[in-house]
């Protein structure tokens, strides 16, 4: 090799080496040192994919841990036609599962597009069947679905969620922020050598309720039977612990399926117990009597003269049976549910005192129950445009004002339990993803009456049941309660025949563990609450004392004596 | 003789050329060696890199498979939870209970038994009274009891 040849060879070697170094350097830079921002927009599209991880919605359990609302995964079925190798076979297999004609499916599978949607939502069972075929090119994307394993049980309380998982009513709506959790998203690469950081969403928290599903079930069964027996249009039952305000059952019929709420008539979707307002009728006399006793206007032994009629603000008020019993004591007023007596008490108290007590009992205000869409009731307050002098008299026996069934339950619970007005609640505890638990404590809203007044009214309510409401009595248990028969205001007038029959009762009267409200709308068998709602109360109590292990009075007495002797 | 020893300019140039040629030959050998070392190093680095990359790729695929398996198990878990909840629904339990011959209990069916001093929920049971101790009458008894207690404590490993 000549020197000239050697020189040329060296030039080639150096040139090739230089070019190689440039290429290797660029490769190393691409592989190791380039950041996302170094690429112009759009250059790396399709290189990765934005993965959005949806959190699992929190479950809802009853007080004993039974699932009331849970989750399942439906699936969206799609196909990437370019990846399909057995189009004919796939169409034949999917047709019966998806319920679509074979030729339509085949057309989609052979589409020139990159992706074709075959079914927007199929059940997990259908998805499993499709998965078993192991067809290439098929894509099954999970879609969360809320399920309610107990069916229609406590539908109004649970509420419902949209198909995209947003709570719209009931507990689902009120606790949306807690139940929903928080989605997480991240750009992920399909390359196996790129580190894959897992995308973790904040899961929804679980709710543990004060509701006992068995109590709820029994209440709904009795309510359904009552609607049928008395041919009532609708009805509600509330079961609560008067000492804490915890709600054990909230039954309203007719109900709807929370899983298929979108197919139900809109009128069924509201919660009658917290959203629907009604004129309470004679059960309001409990409050009037409590106000009169607490304000010191009367004592349990006071009497008044009942002439069978009283005129207030130009409005004549008569007793429901048009009777004129003459000299009457307070207990008899309650037992016989005398309108004239209630109006007399309201008149004696005067506007300021009477309405002051209504306010202390939270009438006309929301109680703050933890369920969506609570109504506050309607009261014409003195001085307002709509108020007349006659309202004082009619409000005393539950006409001319509107309350929710829950408001009546809570105010009666104050009479049953020491005069404390407890805030009603449904969620006992929230269990977060990190294991922490937030427990709910009973909350006293106000103390509208004294302990002594509460005991006095409770004793009157016991006598009232014992003397007049035989249908509400349960052998072995002392029950306090009050019936109510309310007229229904429609278009500015009262309906000539239709009524609302109601009964509020609590037991054991001396140390109440249960307070129950039964309300039947427009019963046809009888207009009176004592004939329709009171028997439902008694039948329900007979089952609940067994379920909740509430012993009869004599057993409690013997236990107290044994405990006393043991001290 | 003098010719061989004389260093004529011609001879000096030839000797220089010969030395340069020798040097070039040495440099070529060294260059070959250098390039060979470089190539080996590059090949080694490439092999290590490829080995690592393939290991990462294999591990990545393994992780992806495990993630897919996890998702599958989670899906099955959701289905099982749903089935359990449905199996425990009250409607079904009631139907089953009635089919098995159970009946609804009524208040009359319940017999209550009063247990004296039975602690109510939330109450802690009263601590049991300590066993009655007989009075010690003599020094001998006291010494005997002290020795006995010490032995018992020693046997139980409670001795201090």
pLDDT at A462: 97
**Distinct helix (H) and strand (E) counts, chain B:** 4, 0
**DSSP sequence for A515-526:** EEEEEEES-SS-
| Percentage, residues of chain A above pLDDT 70 | 96
Question: For B107, which of A545, A559, A563 is closest by C-beta distance?
Answer: A545
Local confidence band at A274 (pLDDT 50, 70, 90 cut-offs) = very high
Tell if the CB–CB gap between B75 and A142 is shorter than 8 Å.
Answer: yes
**Distinct helix (H) and strand (E) counts, chain A:** 16, 20
- Whether the per-residue pLDDT at A28 is higher than 50: the answer is yes
**In chain B, positions 48-107, which contact chain A (CB-CB < 8 Å)?**
53, 56-58, 60-61, 63-64, 67, 75, 78-79, 81-82, 85-86, 88-91, 94, 104-107
**How far is Cα A46 from Cα A436, in angstroms, rounded to an integer?**
41
Q: What is the CA radius of gyration of chain B?
A: 50
Q: What is the pTM of this model?
A: 0.81
CB atoms within 10 A of CB A260: 11
State the nearest Cα–Cα gap between B57 and chain A, in angstroms: 5
CB atoms within 10 A of CB A143: 17
**Contact between residue A184 and residue A199 where contact means Cβ atoms under 8 Å apart:** yes
- Whether the per-residue pLDDT at A96 is higher than 90: the answer is yes
pLDDT at A331: 95
State the nearest Cα–Cα gap between A457 and chain B, in angstroms: 27
**DSSP sequence for A335-384:** HTT-HHHHHHHHHHHHHHHHHHHHHHTTTTS----SSSS----B---TTS
pLDDT at A457: 97
Residue with tokens 């079914």: A119
Tell if the CB–CB gap between A151 and B105 is shorter than 8 Å.
Answer: no
Helix axes A389-396, A339-360, angle to 10 degrees: 100
pLDDT at B129: 58
pLDDT at B160: 43
CB atoms within 10 A of CB A494: 15
Please, which residues have CB within 8 angstroms of residue A323's CB and are 6 or more apart in sequence?
A308, A336, A338
Residue with tokens 């004793």: A459
- Quick one: which of A363, A341, A379 has its CA closest to A412? A363
- Whether the per-residue pLDDT at B89 is higher than 70: the answer is yes
Residues found in chain A: 567
**Contact between residue A187 and residue A50 where contact means Cβ atoms under 8 Å apart:** yes
Local confidence band at B24 (pLDDT 50, 70, 90 cut-offs) = confident
């Amino acid at each position: 090799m000549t020197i000239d040849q050697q020189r040329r060879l060296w030039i080639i070697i150096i040139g090739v080496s230089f070019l190689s170094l440039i290429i290797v350097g660029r490769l190393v830079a691409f592989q190791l040192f380039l950041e996302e921002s170094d690429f112009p927009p759009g250059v790396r599209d399709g290189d990765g994919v934005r993965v959005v991880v949806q959190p699992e919605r929190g479950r809802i359990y009853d007080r004993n841990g039974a699932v009331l609302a849970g989750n399942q995964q439906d699936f969206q079925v799609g196909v990437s036609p370019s990846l399909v190798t057995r189009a004919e076979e796939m169409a034949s297999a999917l047709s019966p599962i998806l319920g679509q004609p074979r030729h339509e499916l085949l057309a989609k599978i052979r589409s020139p597009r990159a992706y074709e949607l075959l079914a927007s939502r199929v059940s997990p069972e259908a998805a499993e069947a499709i998965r078993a075929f192991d067809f290439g090119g098929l894509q099954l994307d999970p879609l969360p679905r809320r399920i309610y394993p107990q069916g229609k049980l406590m539908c109004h309380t649970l509420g419902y969620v949209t198909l995209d998982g947003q709570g719209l009513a009931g507990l689902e709506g009120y606790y949306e922020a807690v139940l929903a959790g928080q989605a997480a998203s991240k750009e992920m690469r399909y390359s196996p050598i790129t580190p894959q950081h897992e995308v973790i969403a904040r899961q929804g928290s679980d709710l543990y309720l004060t509701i006992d599903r068995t109590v709820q079930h029994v209440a709904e069964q009795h309510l359904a039977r009552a609607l049928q027996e008395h041919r009532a249009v609708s009805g509600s039952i509330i079961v609560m612990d008067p000492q804490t305000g915890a709600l054990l059952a909230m039954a309203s019929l007719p109900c709807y399926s929370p899983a298929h709420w979108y197919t139900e008539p809109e009128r069924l979707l509201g919660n009658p117990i917290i959203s629907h307002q009604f004129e309470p009728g004679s059960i309001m006399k409990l409050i009037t009597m409590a106000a009169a006793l607490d304000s010191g206007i009367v004592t349990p032994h006071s009497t008044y003269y009942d002439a069978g009629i009283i005129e207030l603000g130009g409005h004549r008020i008569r007793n429901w049976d048009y009777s004129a019993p003459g000299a009457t004591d307070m207990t008899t007023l309650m037992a016989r549910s005398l309108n004239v007596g209630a109006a007399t008490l309201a008149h004696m108290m005067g506007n300021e005192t009477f309405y002051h007590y209504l306010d202390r009992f939270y009438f006309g205000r929301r109680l703050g129950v933890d369920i969506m869409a609570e109504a506050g009731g309607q009261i014409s307050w003195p001085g307002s445009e709509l108020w007349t002098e006659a309202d004082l008299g009619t409000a005393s026996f539950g006409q001319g004002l509107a309350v929710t069934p829950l408001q009546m339950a809570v105010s009666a619970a104050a009479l049953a339990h020491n005069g404390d007005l407890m805030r009603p609640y449904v969620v006992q505890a929230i269990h977060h993803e990190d294991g922490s638990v937030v427990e709910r404590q009973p909350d006293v809203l106000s103390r509208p009456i004294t302990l002594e007044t509460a005991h006095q009214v409770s004793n009157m309510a016991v006598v009232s049941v014992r003397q007049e409401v035989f249908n509400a009595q349960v052998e072995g248990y002392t029950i306090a309660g009050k019936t109510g028969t309310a007229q229904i205001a429609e278009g500015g007038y009262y309906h000539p025949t239709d009524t609302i029959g109601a009964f509020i009762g609590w037991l054991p009267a001396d140390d109440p563990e249960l307070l129950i409200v039964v309300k039947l709308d427009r019963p046809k068998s009888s207009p009176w609450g004592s004939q329709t709602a009171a028997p439902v109360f008694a039948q329900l109590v007979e089952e609940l004392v067994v379920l909740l292990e509430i012993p009869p009075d004599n057993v409690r007495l013997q236990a107290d004596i044994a405990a006393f002797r043991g001290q | 003789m003098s010719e061989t020893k004389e260093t004529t300019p011609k001879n000096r140039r030839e000797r220089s050329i010969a030395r340069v040629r020798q040097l070039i030959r040495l440099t070529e050998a060294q260059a070959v060696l250098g390039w060979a070392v470089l190539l080996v190093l590059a090949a080694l680095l490439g092999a290590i890199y490829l080995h690592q990359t393939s290991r990462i790729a294999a591990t990545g695929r393994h992780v992806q498979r495990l993630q897919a398996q996890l998702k599958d198990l989670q899906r099955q878990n959701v289905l099982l939870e749903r089935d359990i909840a449905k199996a425990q629904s009250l409607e079904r339990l009631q139907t089953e209970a009635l089919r098995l011959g159970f009946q609804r209990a009524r208040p009359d069916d319940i017999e209550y038994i009063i247990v004296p001093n039975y602690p109510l929920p939330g109450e802690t049971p009263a601590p049991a009274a300590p066993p009655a101790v007989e009075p010690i009458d003599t020094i001998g008894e006291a010494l005997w009891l002290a020795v006995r207690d010490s032995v018992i404590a020693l046997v139980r490993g409670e001795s201090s």
